[in-house]
Structure 1
């Protein structure tokens, strides 16, 4: 019976931590760059693009393909950084909870 009560306490604590995590993730932002900083994409924790900055030197019709590739690369860089930032926040907030090995948040 004690084990059941302990599990219930852990479940409640985990639920509270998940609520905190969801709020924390909303405030996370990550910027990714490409082309040596000529293109910068900033993503919010929700995955929404917050901003796109393109250096004026890329605003040439003959550079269209390069610009498109740089935007995609900057977005990928920002996405990778965002995932790492969310993972760090998750580890901070779930520290101390006795979670099974390999269990990842958010689900």
Structure 2
């Protein structure tokens, strides 16, 4: 009689799954703000700390590299440490987001369809 009701049930399941995913995504975003990663350069002479969202939260510089004649080297090491921390943050974010989307059957690397 009412053949269309089957599709409504499927739609309700999809909506529920979408709401659950949005909730998990929000939880993951909050977790990413708490997870920290550390990038380094110069065999650890410069270390940069960032959240998994990529926000730089700390910078540690070994005093042994402070030589006025080596200013450009120090600047390069600082930039390299920050870039390393940002790359690690992006990698960690991707890992955490994959945990959320893997249950949906989405292809790996697919962007957040709700973001």
Query: Do these two structures clear the TM 0.5 threshold for a shared fold by scoring above it?
Result: yes
Partner Cα separation in structure 1 for residue 33 and residue 57 of structure 2: 12
Specify the SS of the correspondent of 2:60.
strand
Relative to 1, partners in 2 of residues 1:35 and 1:98: Cα closer, same or farther, differing over 3 Å? same
Matching of residues 69-80 of structure 1 within 5 Å: 69-80=76-87
1:39 aligned to 2:36? no
1:86 paired residue number: 93
Unaligned runs of 5+ in 1: none
Q: Is the 8 A contact 2:38 2:49 kept in 1?
A: yes
Unaligned runs of 5+ in 2: 1-7
* Aligned partner (choices 12, 16, 19) of residue 26 of structure 2: 19
Relative to 1, partners in 2 of residues 1:101 and 1:86: Cα closer, same or farther, differing over 3 Å? closer
Q: Which runs of 4+ in 1 moved over 6 A?
A: none
Partner Cα separation in structure 2 for residue 69 and residue 102 of structure 1: 31
Q: Which has the larger radius of gyration?
A: 2
Superposed CA offset, 1:35-82 (max 9, x none): 111110111234322111111111111110000000000111111111
What is the TM-score when the length of structure 2 is the normalising length? 0.82
Tell me the C-alpha RMSD between the 2 structures: 1.9
Q: Which has the higher contact order (CA 8 A, sep 6+)?
A: 1
The count of residues paired between Structure 1 and Structure 2 equals 107
